A and B are shown apart, each in its own frame.
Chain A
Amino acid sequence: MLPRLFFGYFAIVMTVLALVIITRKNPVHSVLWMLVLFFHVAGLYLFLNAEFLAAVQIILYAGAILVLFLFVVMMLNLREEIVSERFGGAWPLGVSVGAFILVLIFLSTGNFVQGPVGKYSIEAIRAETQVKAVGTLLYTEYLFPFEVASLILLIAIVGAIVLAKKRS
């Protein structure tokens, strides 16, 4: 019963926060509500026994990505943007497309059949500690994707500098 109450709290709060984020007029308010949402996502990760990911979520999303968003929102002068119309002309179409796809997903999740479980049960992870288990998998089986991820980050750094640089 108690886990379901926890989940219900997280689900309701996260849904409401997501709706608040996409409807605020001022982008600064959206960014700050997004911070609250990311903390709730981190709480849900803790609830699912993913401690390391919860830490990464707070450090990377709340600490890095949202600060980047806040910097950009503050750098651009958005005073006249706030008073103008916030939704595009075709917003009923967008909402109905989203609702339709959501109904399709809900109809299809009823037929979900769970596959066979793997070897990382809670006891096995607890015996090895979670960070060690994730790290071992990341640096052995997923070493090549890990290197590719570093290449993606390098390209992002170079691309951001090139795009934001002043043309002389």
Chain B
Amino acid sequence: MVPLNWYIGLSSVIFMIGVVGFLIRRNIIVMLMSIELMLNAVNISLVAFSHYLQDLRGQILVFFVITVAASEAAIGLAILVALYKNKAAVHTNEITEMKG
């Protein structure tokens, strides 16, 4: 039997890799993929808790997380396409309209 702590450790490592990827990359596509990475890490910990606490509610929550991830990817990529049409830029340091 694998201890539950190992799953929490794996999940937090992948979540933090997602956070670091979101912070350090300049390409917006890779930043969106880092968000997917973080959501997947949370899903792993939810399913692990659901298994070890013998309660299916964690798995129900994973469905909702996947729903939100799907709509977030659709909206984010639509914004990216609109941005590329208007500015031909996918790097964050080329988008400076809001800079005072």
Interface residues of A, Cβ cutoff 8 Å to B: 3-4, 7, 10-11, 14-15, 18-19, 21-22, 24, 27, 30-31, 34, 37-38, 41, 44-45, 48-50, 52-53, 56-57, 60-61, 64-65, 68-69, 72-73, 75-76, 78, 81, 84-88, 90-91, 93-95, 97-99, 101-102, 105-106, 109-110, 112, 114-115, 117-122, 125, 133-134, 137-138, 142, 145, 149, 152-153, 155-157, 159-160, 163-164
Contacts and interface: CB of A to CB of B under 8 A. Distances in A.
Contacts of A152: 67-68, 71
Contacts of B55: 117-120
B31 to A, nearest CB: 9
Contacts of A160: 74-75, 77-78
Nearest to B11: A105
Given A57-B66, A85-B26, A87-B26, 15 more contacts: A27-B33, A30-B29, A41-B43, A56-B66, A61-B36, A61-B66, A72-B29, A76-B84, A84-B91, A99-B16, A109-B8, A117-B55, A120-B54, A149-B67, A164-B82
B33 A53 contact: no
Contacts, number: 223
Interface of B: 1-2, 4-6, 8-10, 12-14, 16-21, 23-27, 29-30, 32-34, 36-37, 40, 43-44, 47-48, 50-57, 59-60, 62-64, 66-75, 77-82, 84, 90-93
